[in-house]
Structure 1
Amino acid sequence: MKNNLWKTTLLTFALTLGACGTPEPGPQAEAPRCEASPVRCAEQSIDALRLLTTVSTGEIREEGTTPGEFHTYVDARAEGATPKQSYTYTRFTPEGLSRVEVDDQAALASTDWDIAFRRYNIRVNSGVSGPSCIAVAQTPAGTTFDSVNAVDSTWEFRTENYFTESCEVISGEATLGSPETRLGGFWTYQACLAMTGDIFVVRLANGRHVKLEVTHYYDPAPQQTCNQTGKVPQPSGAAQFRVRWAFLP
């Protein structure tokens, strides 16, 4: 079964390769997207990350009202602590985060998505995570969202690389056994997921940049309690993200 699914994925990847390098449709012309690259350790990803073939039905909506800035709600519950649905795949657009209707295994061959959410994991489309070239830089400690107005030439942008050369998943105690993704520093764990307030800058495949902060993993009130006390009341509304983000000039 898995081999048949993977053959379908490879076919999708081949079709994607033929489409790369063309401008994106839309009201404003965009730079050509990067060329697709084969995903290393793709078969191992299916098992290690529990990559599924059921497309996520999690809701995505914009909750922000500040001009030029977004505060996006993403339902990443995937029907429970043992996921029954794929990651929720999305793309950054001038109108907000847009859903990409793709399942986990097909996403390994798709350049249509930028960022994906499930439970407490966030992945971007690059390296061992997908065939695109989305890269992430973490700004220095203490950086605030409002203070980031341009890309700093000293920032180091990195693609996803949570597998060793022999395709063993790289994880750790701080990640609760999940892959060490480039955006994994948005939380710290002390009996609940407290937000670090870290600010990330994401370089998209078309060369644009997005500044990003994950502000909530739980519902707003439980998240505040977790951040302040290290404990979270129930029900907590876990895996319902709020992400603050904006395009940089």
Structure 2
Amino acid sequence: MRTLSLSLLLPLAFSACKKEAVYEPVCTEPTAVSCFDDLLIDLSLQDAVSGGRVTNTPDGDGWVSTVDATAGGFGNSANNPWVYVKFTDEGLARVDITDEDALDSMEWHLAARRFILRLNSGASGPSCVQAAAIANGDYTALSAADAEGATFFADDYYTESCDMINDSSGLPGSPQVALAPWWSYPGCVATTDVPFIVRLDSGRQLKLIVDQYYGSGQEQCNSQGAPGNDGGEYTLRWSFVD
């Protein structure tokens, strides 16, 4: 009778014991976006698909992803669509969808155009993606434990009468989105190093931080208040925390 060696049996045993993580969905069906008509106008949503480049570089257990959300450059964003992306095990993936169709789709998690990052939830989209800002948190040390007790927010930036709630930047047309704490405005778009825990509609969670908004010159903005170059060339660091 032929027997298998211990060296062959051990991998089989470990494989049999290993189970894939099971997540409890937060939502499974789309919900109508509130203030739909106002949103189309206030955020200059387009019936077009963005060709903004998305790249991924492995970073330990996570990724460093770049997103071209320059939207035609300064002063031209109102005539250009948003870039839509979703978080996957293979990196950040672009979702080719128009702004208008995105309001009925759960396929995307995050949308970017210039300095605004929208989540697919609340006023921004029909899904239930939410984020919790971890004040004074260290991105590298963040884990699933940091989500316990954290307060998660959807993108709710309209009043009941559909008046848009602006963030504290003082810039026009800048809604109070859940990810707004990633930046401040000392005369340029400065990164704050505030990390987030993002909860997807699937129930899966990830940590996220915006490292750069400018293609170059982010440090001079952060330290001197002088704008960098190529605004909207995001560098994002993120990793699933399950």
Tell me the TM-score normalised to structure 2 length.
0.85
Query: Partner of 1:244 in structure 2?
Result: 237
Which of the pair is proportionally richer in strand?
2
CA distance in 2, matches of 1:209, 1:161: 20
Q: Could you tell me which residue of structure 1 aligns to residue 52 of structure 2?
A: 58
Partners of 2:184 and 2:192 within 8 A in 1: yes
Which among 106, 117, 122 is matched to residue 122 of structure 1? 117
Relative to 1, partners in 2 of residues 1:124 and 1:172: Cα closer, same or farther, differing over 3 Å?
closer
C-alpha distance in structure 2 between counterparts of 1:101 and 1:175, whole Å: 31
User: Against the structure 1 CA distance between its residues 41 and 151, is the aligned structure 2 distance closer, same or farther, given a 3 Å change threshold?
Assistant: farther
Q: CA separation in 1, counterparts of 2:162 and 2:226?
A: 35
Residue aligning to 1:190: 186
Q: 2:209–2:236: 8 Å Cα contact kept in structure 1?
A: yes
Is 2:34 the partner of 1:40? yes
Larger CA deviation: 198-207 vs 64-73: 64-73
Pairwise CA RMSD: 1.7
Task: List per-residue Cα deviations over 1:95-130 (Å, max 9, x = no partner).
Answer: 111111111111110010000000100000011111
Helix, strand or coil at the partner of 1:46: helix
Indicate the SS of the match to 2:238.
strand
- Give 1:211's aligned amino acid: K
Q: Tell me, which stretches of 5 or more residues in structure 1 are unaligned? A: 1-26
State the secondary structure of the residue aligned to 2:230. coil
Matched, 1:68 2:61: yes
Match runs of 1:203-222 below 5 Å: 203-220=199-216, 222=217
Partner secondary structure for residue 140 of structure 2: coil
Greater mean alpha carbon deviation, residues 198-207 or residues 27-36: 27-36
Tell me the equivalent position of 1:137: 132
Aligned mates of 1:154, 1:175 — CA distance in 2: 31
Larger radius of gyration: 2
Per the alignment, do residues 147 and 111 of structure 1 end up closer, same or farther by CA in structure 2, a change over 3 Å counting?
A: same
**Does the aligned pair in 2 maintain the 1:53–1:85 contact within 8 Å?**
no
Distance 1:55 1:29 in 2: 33
Rounded Cα–Cα distance in structure 2 between residues aligned with 1:113 and 1:124: 9
How many Å apart are 1:203 and its aligned residue? 0.2
* TM-superposed deviation, 1:66: 2.1
Change in Cα spacing, 1:113 to 1:189, as seen in structure 2 (3 Å) is same
Task: Say how many residue pairs are matched.
Answer: 218
For 1:199, the aligned partner's letter is: P
Structure 1 segment 5-44 matched on structure 2, within 5 A: 34-44=28-38
Partner of 2:16: none
Equivalences for residues 154-193 of structure 1 within 5 A:
154-174=149-169, 176-177=171-172, 178-193=174-189
Mapped partners of 1:29, 1:42: distance in 2: 34
Contact 2:123 2:158 in 1 (8 A): yes
Query: Given that residues 175 and 184 in structure 1 are in contact (C-alpha distance below 8 angstroms), is that contact kept between their aligned partners in structure 2?
Result: no
Counterpart of 1:52, as a letter, is Q
Check 1:151–1:204 CA distance in 2 against 1; reply closer, same or farther (3 A cut).
farther
Consecutive unaligned residues of structure 2, counting only runs of 5 or more, are 1-19
The answer as to 2:111 corresponding to 1:111 is no
Mark the CA change 1:28 to 1:149 in structure 2 (over 3 Å): closer, same or farther.
closer
Q: What percent of counterpart residues are identical?
A: 35
Segments ≥4 residues shifted beyond 4 Å: 27-33
Question: Residue 70 of structure 1 contacts residue 246 of structure 1 at CA under 8 Å; is this kept in 2?
Answer: yes
